[in-house]
């Protein structure tokens, strides 16, 4: 890489001296050594390696009642990879879920590991705002509260007892790649 060239975070940027730079030939700078170019390509290779790529990620799933209105099991949203370790899950109810006598459960590995079956007339579905889901949020440091995916998974939403007529919620699943 040529002197004066910086490579950082996957892009190359030419370092350009400015008239205010002490290295632009201003009086009294003749004996100063110009700083070396920043080379982070090795760091990028380390970060891209399997050993250092276990970075926490968040998958967001926007769920409108029309997607889960009918009674039954639905798979929704992006795929979380095989062997992923689910670290936590949160939900934001944007519009209260409505369905006379309806219940909903949610999960990743099972149909209830994020939210056990709960009537939409009560918590967490009947009021708007953020809600922690399952023991993952309540006990984030307890190893037994993590979920390990045994296959590539999507959010599983189970609607039971009655159809939904309104509601919208977002689910945030925090995870990292596992072995």
109 and 40 assigned to the same domain: no
What integer is the mean pLDDT of 170-178?
93
75 and 154 assigned to the same domain: yes
**Can you tell me which residue has the tokens 């945030």?**
172
Q: Is the pLDDT of residue 90 over 60?
A: yes
* Token code pair at residue 61: 């799933």
17 and 100 assigned to the same domain: no
78 and 103 assigned to the same domain: yes
Widest pairwise Cα distance in the chain:
83
Q: Is the pLDDT of residue 125 over 90?
A: yes
138 and 107 assigned to the same domain: yes
How confident is the model over 17-37, as pLDDT tens digits? 444 444 444 445 455 554 444
- Would you give the end-to-end CA distance of the chain in angstroms? 35
Q: Are 89 and 175 in contact (CB under 8 A)?
A: no
161 and 124 assigned to the same domain: yes
87 and 142 assigned to the same domain: yes
Number of domains present in the structure of the chain: 2
47 and 72 assigned to the same domain: no
What length is written for the chain? Answer: 179
For residues 108 and 148, give the distance between their C-alpha atoms in angstroms, rounded to a whole number. 9
Q: Is the pLDDT of residue 43 over 50?
A: no
């Amino acid at each position: 890489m040529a002197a004066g060239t910086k490579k950082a975070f996957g892009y190359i940027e030419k370092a350009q001296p400015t008239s205010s730079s002490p290295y632009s030939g201003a009086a009294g700078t003749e004996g100063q050594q110009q700083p070396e170019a920043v080379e982070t390509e090795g760091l990028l290779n380390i970060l891209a390696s399997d050993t250092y790529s276990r970075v926490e990620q968040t998958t967001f799933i926007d769920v409108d009642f029309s997607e889960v209105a009918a009674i039954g099991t639905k798979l929704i949203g992006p795929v979380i990879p095989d062997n992923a370790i689910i670290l936590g899950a949160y939900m934001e109810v944007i519009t209260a879920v409505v369905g006379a006598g309806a219940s909903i459960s949610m999960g990743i590995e099972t149909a209830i590991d994020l939210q056990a079956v709960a009537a939409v007339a009560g918590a967490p579905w009947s009021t708007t705002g953020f809600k922690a889901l399952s023991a993952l949020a309540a006990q984030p440091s307890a190893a037994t509260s993590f979920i390990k995916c045994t296959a590539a998974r999507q959010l599983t939403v189970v609607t039971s007892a009655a159809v939904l007529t309104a509601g919208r919620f977002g689910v945030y699943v925090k995870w990292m790649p596992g072995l």
